[in-house]
Amino acid sequence: MFTNCCNSHANGVRNIRYNFIVMVGNNYQQTHNLKRIVLDKLKHKIIDHLNKVASIDLSMYEPVFFEQTILKRLTETNCSGYSDYYELLHKNKIESDLFIKSFQINYTEFFRNDFTFSVLNKLIIPEIISNFNKNNHNEIRVWCAACADGQEAYSIAMLLEEHLKIKQFNYRIFATDQSDTYINTAQKGAYHTSQMGCLSLNRINNWFDKKGEFYVVKNDLKKHIEFSVFDLLNKQFSCPPSSIFGNFDFVFCANLLYYYKPEFRHLILKKTSNSIIKKGYLITSETERETLFEFKFKEVFPHSAIFQKR
């Protein structure tokens, strides 16, 4: 009898614990769902507001990226909640401009994604040069899409210049970004010492002049690069107008796709891939490889993030 009482008591305690855990879990889920509803409403209000006052459509961005941007601005402005932040955004043009600027993706560095640049240097560029000589092409043409502050375009130019020491060819790089601020920075080609870490001393000495705490790209490297403002989602143009007809040997479009919703990724991929010559290359980043596989591209070397159309 005593044993039965103990078992009954133990079962009762277990039931209480289980019911408590279920209750806490349900409360957490309800709170999470409520926050999700509030955040979704805020997103739509922000999109509608900025569409009206700034004629900019932010609905194209991937939801997680959009939400992270909201939370970051909410923290930096010390707002106590979503409603307070929306009021600030609604009344304060400076904050509206800062919020919009948060969607301009500009983080880059020289020779970012080491393995991709290594495959490009050792396999892809030599093959392009070989075909260039066989087919009597006028020039090797490269599109560096979403070039931000220009490090990517200059990295590609350094590789091509190094190959010029082996075989002679002409080349042009068309580097674009939707931000005129970033394009102006790229054209100046002045980078702080802290931004030079991925460059060898030899490349720094060959292609930069040191001015105080900055390194400035030499004109010998700049002369083959044409920087221009271009929106990849602009439906009017299929490629940068400065390139006239596209026909690129390879297009560099890295660390960009995952910021957009799938339908806009598709638009960007269609535009960039259609501007590439037959058997040309589309280069993305390691984190975007799955997106390319979804759209039936083939990777030319495992984990290189360098693709061709099937």
CA distances from 71 to 55, 64, 85, 146, 286 (A): 23, 11, 10, 25, 26
Position 71, amino acid: L
Whose tokens are 């143009």? That residue is 237
Q: Mean pLDDT, to the nearest integer, of 194-206?
A: 95
By three-state DSSP, how is residue 255 classified?
Answer: coil
CB half-sphere exposure, 247, CA atoms < 13 A: 10
**How far is the C-alpha of 158 from the C-alpha of 208, rounded, in Å?**
11
pLDDT tens per residue, range 152-179:
999 999 999 999 998 889 999 999 999 9
**How far is the C-alpha of 242 from the C-alpha of 240, rounded, in Å?**
5
Q: What does pLDDT average to over the chain?
A: 87
pLDDT-based confidence at 145, cuts 50/70/90?
Answer: very high
**How far is the C-alpha of 239 from the C-alpha of 260, rounded, in Å?**
19
**How far is the C-alpha of 280 from the C-alpha of 135, rounded, in Å?**
14
CA distances from 191 to 186, 217, 253 (A): 9, 8, 22
Going from N- to C-terminal start, the domains of the chain cover 2-101, 114-309
Task: Identify which of 201, 204, 200 has the alpha carbon closest to the alpha carbon of residue 189.
Answer: 204
Residue 136 pLDDT more than 60?
yes
Residues of the chain above pLDDT 90, percent: 57
Please report which helix (H) or strand (E) contains residue 131, including its range: helix 125-135
pLDDT-based confidence at 186, cuts 50/70/90?
Answer: very high
Structure confidence at residue 36 (pLDDT): 63
Structure confidence at residue 14 (pLDDT): 57
pLDDT tens per residue, range 215-262:
999 999 999 999 999 999 988 888 999 898 889 999 999 989 989 999
Domain 114-309 has CATH 3.40.50.1370: no
pLDDT tens per residue, range 4-48:
555 555 555 555 555 545 444 444 444 446 566 767 788 888 889
SS (H, E, C) 166-231: CCCCCEEEEEEECCHHHHHHHHHCEEEHHHCCCCCHHHHHHHEEEECCEEEECHHHHCCEEEEECC
Asked if 172 and 139 touch (Cβ cutoff 8 Å), the reply is: yes
Structure confidence at residue 109 (pLDDT): 93
Angle at 59 between CA 54 and CA 61, to 5 degrees: 110
Structure confidence at residue 4 (pLDDT): 54
Q: Say whether pTM exceeds 0.75.
A: yes
Calculate the CA 130 to chain-centre distance.
31
Asked if 286 and 253 touch (Cβ cutoff 8 Å), the reply is: no
Residue 104 pLDDT more than 90?
no
Structure confidence at residue 30 (pLDDT): 46
Structure confidence at residue 27 (pLDDT): 46
Query: 2: burial class by Cβ within 10 Å (0-12, 13-18, 19+)?
Result: exposed
